[in-house]
Structure 1
Amino acid sequence: MLTTIIRLIFTLLGAVGGAELANLYQISIPGPSFFGIILYIIIGAGIGYFIGGVVGIQTAKGLNWMEQTIQKVPLLDIIVGVAGLIVGLILATLVSLPLWKIPVFGPYLAMLIFVILGYLGTWLGLRKKEDISSNFKFLSQSKIHGKKFIPLKKILDTSVIIDGRIVDICRTGFISGELIVPAFVLKELQAIADSEDSLKRSKGRRGLDVLHELREEPNVKVKIVEKDYPKISNVDAKLVQMGKDMGLPLVTNDFNLNKVAGLYNVVVLNINELANALKPVVLPGEEINIYVIKKGKEVGQGIGYLNDGTMVVIEGGNVNIGQEIKVLVTSALQTSAGRMIFAKPKVGGESKTEGR
């Protein structure tokens, strides 16, 4: 669209230029002078059409490059840079007032002063942005109490939408602000909901239902963003790139996405990590009742689970499968997949068989 408009403008300018050129030199060709003017108008319009196409394409590329570059620049840098530029231009206006009176060279010197002071103002503003932001609370968004600031806006990935726990977390108020759902994530959800596989189809529909529930929550605002990355085919890679470009955290429970985002310094809020952090702490030596449901990987081991889903590995517990026994906690291990507790049956502890 932009290329077409620029090409049209150059075509009109070329036509007008051709007409003026014909009148200026009073071109004489066989036939009435009117046809000579028409000929030069056509030639000028053709040249303008060609030049306008080249200029339009390059202008569109330049604007796209500027848009991508600006998206990568932090908001604080833009605010401070523009403020420094304005201050520099104001000083340049005051300094250059006497220079305009100098014959011939005065305007050129004034323009040079504007360029130099405008650049210096922007440069100094960016160099001193930390000092400036520390004196203005609304600009100081990079750190809070020495820790990394988490913006109110967050990007949701497909897995956390299908999971559904994000709704309950938002209801508690621990997550608020604007939740951004990229259009390519919504497209992936729709594809899963239309899958021939019944399990995938139910997951996709659940994800769409979760989005409708989130839209009804007063603590958050769901926004669909049409931004896409056509050159990137993988949805996770698109999410990481969007988080990097927009400077926003990703909300997910995908372990692999968590690791990849960390490599690109993109902040990740992992729902699984939050759930693990909220599980009650079980200390070595503590007694707990556990129902042994199956054998462990090692000889003699039995496996049970706490109410929150934490796995308990019981040494010598294979003989108590199908029973609830009292065990002593010996140690706990925190892994990337969650917490695992090791225990052994309490000597003299009571056990009872339950039909479960």
Structure 2
Amino acid sequence: MVKLKKGWEVRILFILALGLAGTLASGDLIIGFIGLGIGIVAAILEKLIVQVSADKLVYSVTGATVGLVVGILFILILKIGISGDSPWSDLLVLIPVALAYVFSVVAVNKGRKLQLISIEEEIGQQWNMPVLVDLSASVDGRVADLSLAGLLPGPFTIPLSVKNSLDEMQKGRNIVKRGRARRATETIQRLEEAVGKSGGLVEFRDFGEGEREKHRILAWLRKEKVCLLTGDTDMADTAEREGIRVIRLSEIGPASREVVLPGDSFVVRIQKKGRTASQGVGFLSDGTMVVVDEAGERVGKETNVTAHTTFRAKGGTMVFGKVAPEGSGDNDHD
């Protein structure tokens, strides 16, 4: 049995309905075939138009409308000096069509530079960065928190395959996958709520499926200059090689941690001994590891520490310090 791609069931029904309507209305089978042809053309146009970005669609429609208006005015002016019997009068109808085409192409190519239709102007020049959220980022959930905090106002694009995958996972028997799908669905709902408050947009876009989908996503990101938010290392590496801006979820946590500088003092609970018996190891509230000299015997105690060295790596930050001088207020929690 042939499996149709999602969305084509409705298109086929629409095409058949036009063919049937043409046949029943005229009683002529040829008119029915013409109706089928019109339906096929309409379905192809709909498929192509859906793939066009919203801003380009607005630019082209606006440009075409302006071109038609200018063309009609031009016809009215020319008709004053041309008699109705002139062979040139029949060609005047082509002027609005030609101008509509010219204006739409110019609007699409120059619209962004001219900022004829700028969302940023309407919301007070708000910082706006289009972001594509993949499946891994949806499951992670931090994208909604970032949007709620105003760090990522959007607009956001989510591949349609993500929504389809989540629906399948929720219907499956695997408890872990069902939980991940439920979390991702909640993330998308929170994202739509957060973006709606800032006047942004969350749209689902069909990129196909499988390996073909990956190539289409990368091509679209590169063409539209959209940022990729992902937790997939392979996808992130590939996108960066192609010059696409990437936000890695693995880097969001370390980047948002509190910075500890040499000379800073803080309190940390010593959890265990370090590599040497004289060292003690503790952790800050954000998970940063703290290695404290001369604290090996202070396991279980909250100790005032003064940092003397910080080491930042891709996986996070390590802080090296020493026990603060006596009298700074150690608290014993044995």
TM-score by length of 1: 0.59
Q: How far off is 1:256 after superposition?
A: 5.5
Letter in 1 for 2:92: A
Partner letter of residue 15 of structure 2? T
* Residues 1:289 and 2:267 are matched in the alignment: yes
* 2-structure distance, mates of 1:298, 1:241: 52
Letter in structure 1 aligned against 2:271: I
Question: Of 79, 87, 92, which residue of structure 2 is paired with 1:105?
Answer: 87
Shift in CA distance, 237/222, structure 1 to aligned 2, threshold 3 Å: farther
Rounded Cα–Cα distance in structure 2 between residues aligned with 1:194 and 1:353: 52
Q: 1:187 to 1:15 in 2, by over 3 A?
A: closer
Normalising to structure 2: TM-score of the pair?
Answer: 0.62
Is the radius of gyration larger for structure 1 or structure 2? 1
Matches within 5 A, 1:243-322: 275-294=253-272, 303-313=281-291
Q: What is the Cα deviation at residue 306 of structure 1?
A: 0.8
AA aligned to 1:185 is: V
- 1:152-197 Cα deviation digits (max 9, x unpaired): xx76555555445566666666677887776643443455456655
8 Å contact 1:171–1:219 — kept in the other structure? no
| Counterpart residue number, 2:317 | 340
Indicate how the Cα distance of structure 1 residues 99 and 59 shifts in structure 2: closer, same or farther if over 3 A, else same.
farther
Aligned residue type for 2:319: F
Q: Which residue is equivalent to 2:308?
A: 329
Task: Summarize the Cα distance change of 1:334–1:52 in structure 2 as closer, same or farther, 3 Å threshold.
Answer: same
Q: Distance in 2 between matches of 1:297 and 1:100?
A: 97
Give me the identity figure in percent: 22
- For the 8 Å contact 2:270–2:280, the answer to whether it is kept is yes
Whole-Å Cα distance in 2 between the matches of residues 95 and 223 of structure 1? 43
- 1:121 maps to 2:107: no
Query: Which of 61, 74, 84 is the matching residue for 1:92?
Result: 74
Instruction: Give 2:284's aligned amino acid.
Output: L
Pick aligned residue for 2:16 from 4, 17, 28: 4
What is the letter of the counterpart of residue 328 of structure 1? A
What's the secondary structure of 1:74's corresponding residue?
A: helix
Post-superposition shift, 1:94?
3.4
Is structure 2 residue 61 aligned with structure 1 residue 82?
no
Q: Is the 8 A contact 1:315 1:342 kept in 2?
A: no
The number of residue pairs the alignment matches comes to 318
Q: Quick one: structure 1 residues 290 and 10, their matched pair in 2 at CA, closer, same or farther if it must change by over 3 Å?
A: same
Contact 2:221–2:228, Cα closer than 8 Å, also in 1: yes
Aligned CA RMSD, in angstroms, stands at 5.4
Q: List alignment gaps of at least 5 residues for structure 2.
A: 1-12
Instruction: Give me the whole-angstrom Cα distance separating, in 2, the residues matched to 1:183 and 1:127.
Output: 28
1:150 is aligned to 129
Cα distance in 2 for partners of 1:126, 1:235 equals: 26
CA contact (8 A) 2:60 2:104 kept: no
Query: Helix, strand or coil for the counterpart of 1:289?
Result: strand
* Secondary structure in structure 2 of the residue aligned to 1:149: coil
What is the rounded CA distance, in whole Å, between the counterparts of 2:43 and 2:63 in structure 1? 24
Query: Letter of the aligned partner of 1:118 in structure 2?
Result: A
Q: Deviations over 1:100-135 (max 9, x none)?
A: 52635223431343344334434444555356426x
Residue of structure 1 in register with 2:209 after alignment: 231
Q: Which structure 1 residue ranges, 5 or more long, are not aligned?
A: 17-44
* Cα pair 2:265 2:306 within 8 Å, conserved: yes
Conserved in 2, the CA contact under 8 Å of 1:155 and 1:250?
yes
**What is the distance in 2 between the residues matched to 1:183 and 1:237?**
15
Distance in 1, matches of 2:191 and 2:98, equals 51
SS in structure 2 at match of 1:59: helix
**1:229 CA displacement:** 4.0
| Alpha-carbon separation, structure 1, partners of 2:60 and 2:173 | 48
